[in-house]
Amino acid sequence: MDDLRRSPLHDTHVQLGARMVPFAGWEMPVQYEGIIPENRAVRQKLGVFDISHMGQLFVSSDKTGVAADWLDSILTNNVAKLDVGQGQYTLLLNETGGVIDDLIVYRQSDTEYFLVVNASKVDEDVSWMQTKLPASGVSLTNRSDEFAGLAVQGPEAVTAFQAMFGKSQQLPERFCMSTITTDNGNVIICRTGYTGEDGFELFCPTAAGSHWWQQCIDAGATPAGLGARDSLRLEKCYPLNGNDLAPDRTPLEAGLAFAVDLHKPEFVGRETLVRQKTKGLHRRLVAIKQTEKSPPPRPGYSVLSGDQEVGTLSSGGVSPNLGCGISMAYITSGHNKIGTALDVEIRGKRFPAEVVRKPFI
Asked if residue 150 and residue 211 are part of one domain, the reply reads yes
Q: Say what the pLDDT of residue 1 is.
A: 61
What does the pLDDT read at residue 135? 86
Return phi, psi of residue 116, to 5°: -110, 120
Q: 152 with 202: CB under 8 angstroms?
A: yes
Domain boundary among 235, 269, 296: 235
Quick one: 188 and 298 in the same domain?
A: no
Of 235, 267, 290, the last residue of a domain is: 235
Model pTM score: 0.95
Same-domain status, 188 and 43: yes
Number of structural domains the chain divides into: 2
Give the chain's residues under pLDDT 70: 1-2
Q: What is the pLDDT of residues 51-61, one digit of tens each?
A: 999 999 999 99
- Same domain as 289, residue 346: yes
Please name the amino acid found at residue 297.
P
Tell me, yes or no, whether 288 lies in a domain: yes
The residues, ordered by sequence, that sit 6+ positions from 131 with a Cβ below 8 Å of its Cβ are: none
> Looking at residue 11, what DSSP letter applies?
H
Cα separation, 38 vs 55, in Å, equals: 24
Identify whether 352 is part of a domain: yes
State the DSSP H helix or E strand holding residue 177, giving kind and residue range, or none if neither: strand 177-182
DSSP class of residue 247 equals T
Instruction: Please say whether the dihedral angle defined by the alpha carbons of residues 355, 358, 360 and 361, taken in this order, is positive or negative.
Output: negative
* CA atoms 333, 338, 340, 342: torsion sign: positive
| Nearest by Cα to 190 from 133, 275, 286, 107 | 107
> Residues 47, 178, 186, CA angle at the centre, nearest 5°?
85
Report the first-to-last Cα separation within the chain, whole angstroms.
36
Shared domain check, 286 and 231: no
Q: Is residue 21 part of a domain?
A: yes
Q: Is residue 153 domain-resident?
A: yes
The answer to whether the beta carbons of residues 69 and 60 sit under 8 Å apart is: no
Write the CB contacts of 5 (distance below 8 Å, at least 6 apart in sequence): 25, 26, 27, 53
Task: Let me know if residue 96 belongs to a domain.
Answer: no
Q: Residue 219: which domain range?
A: 5-52+145-235
**Does 287 fall in a domain?**
yes
